[in-house]
Amino acid sequence: MSEMLIFIHSQGLLKGLNGKRVLTYEFLQNNDDAVASAIANYSSGSNSLEDVIRRAGNISWDDSLRNLLNRGIISEDTFESTRMNRNDQDEI
């Protein structure tokens, strides 16, 4: 699958502070051997996949959420309840 996959795009709708739905997403482009290897070895641990998502052109779910939070579009509660990496102690 890692050889045929071009990209992964995951999206979700969250409740915004204004009561309207807000789009959040994650994007992973399979554009080099490191990405393909991380996808192929995902079952043995997702750390390498998380590392390649942080590369240029890719957008992690949590980064997309953090962007919405920093722009005042979603609440801190929405951010905390929908983020993927619960171990991330980065400043909000």
Residue type, 87: N
* Model confidence, pTM: 0.75
DSSP conformational letter for 42: G
pLDDT for 33: 77
Q: Check if the beta carbon of residue 34 is closer than 8 Å to that of residue 47.
A: no
The average confidence (pLDDT) of the chain is: 83
7-30 tens-digit pLDDT: 888 999 999 999 999 999 999 888
Partner residues linked to 14 by β-bridges:
22
Strands (DSSP E) contained in the chain are 7-15, 21-29
Query: What is the sign of the dihedral through the CA atoms of 69, 73, 77 and 82?
Result: negative
